[in-house]
Amino acid sequence: MQNQKPIYDMGNATAGIFKGNSISNAIKEIYGESASLFANLIKSKLPDTAREYTLLDIGSSKGELLSDILALLPEYNFDITVTDTNPDAVSQNCINGKKIVADAESLPLDDKSIDLVIMRYVLQFNLLENQKNIIREVSRVTKGFAIVQHGGSDSFDAESWREKVGKIFIDDELPQIKRNGGFWSSAEEIENYMDCENIRYERVLSKKIQGLSQPFIERYSLSNEQASKLRGMLGDKDFLTQTTWIIYPTE
């Protein structure tokens, strides 16, 4: 695949964290509540359980989120495709379905070919222009609707939030979480783009979640000294804004 984006160490505890398995309230809120929210939205939008639906999970990793969603929807029959940029994650994905190594910016799928698309926490690990491409692709391939969940910046002061949070990803004393190529967009920045492109959407839920540091601490088993440094660097910006949208097909 051309222009392969960097693949970073996800951390040994990632699979459990992505399911919300932790005593940390932050991790439970950031990850653990997604499956029930997504499942309830699917039930409200797809009431007919007698037919088969096509489902695409973008950035599926090893299928942690989707497996929990499916467990809450035993009455549904899905023809499933999962994608991720990480070949190892795709090969280890626990979901029974088609598995594709693909960039969310250029999905190898036809227009309006998928009844239901789900995507969680993919946008912020891409630059803003790339995020716009991803949103465009999500809207292009769905013929029903997409559920997109995003972890982003402070909606009230995005720039100062990003300035402080960005420093944790370049600090030499926190090598486990060093990365580049991301942009923690605010919900409003994403919505402004969708408005400009006439992409229909509904904001389902948006909330501030304290404890941005905690998933990194647990995923990478940071030492007490590293955990303290990370929290200190974030200071009053140790939070994220979680936003969930329903996005509809491109007209």
pTM above 0.75, yes or no: yes
Percent pLDDT > 70 in the chain is: 98
Q: To which residue do tokens 């997409």 refer?
A: 146
pLDDT tens digits, one per residue of 131-188: 999 999 999 999 999 999 999 999 999 999 999 999 999 999 999 999 998 999 999 9
Residue 3 banded pLDDT, cuts 50, 70, 90: low
Determine the pLDDT at residue 120: 98
pLDDT tens digits, one per residue of 24-58: 999 999 999 999 999 999 999 999 999 999 999 99
Measure Cα distances from 162 to 74, 117, 158, 171, 237 in Å. Answer: 40, 28, 6, 15, 9
53 C-beta neighbours (distance < 10 Å), count: 17
Determine the pLDDT at residue 118: 98
Determine the pLDDT at residue 7: 84
42 C-beta neighbours (distance < 10 Å), count: 22
Q: Mean pLDDT score of the chain, rounded to an integer? A: 96
Asked whether the predicted pLDDT for residue 209 surpasses 50, the reply is yes
Tell me the DSSP string of 141-205.
HEEEEEEEEEEE--SSSHHHHHHHHHGGGS-TT-GGG---S-----HHHHHHHHHHTT--EEEEE
Across 193-201, average pLDDT: 97
CATH number corresponding to 14-247: 3.40.50.150
Determine the pLDDT at residue 10: 87
